[in-house]
Amino acid sequence: MKVRLIRSKIGTSPRQREVLAALGLRRMHQEVTIKDNDAMRGMIAKVAHMVKVVE
């Protein structure tokens, strides 16, 4: 599954920044490939307003 960061981390809570770092997202429009499991889907749900699932 590919995930892309579509909104800036500026102004977000520290918890949301930790989730983005755990997903491997550092820069705007960066795209990472992650495993499709319940833990990753939960992390994506926490920052759903900031990321886009590409695949």
User: What does pTM read for this prediction?
Assistant: 0.91
In tens, the pLDDT along 12-42 reads 999 999 999 999 999 999 999 999 999 999 9
What's the number of domains the chain is made of? 1
User: Which CATH number covers residue 42?
Assistant: 3.30.1390.20
> 55 pLDDT band (50/70/90 cuts)?
confident
Give CA–CA dist 39/1, Å, rounded: 13
Reference 53, options 23, 18, 16; nearest CA is 23
Domain that holds residue 47: 2-53
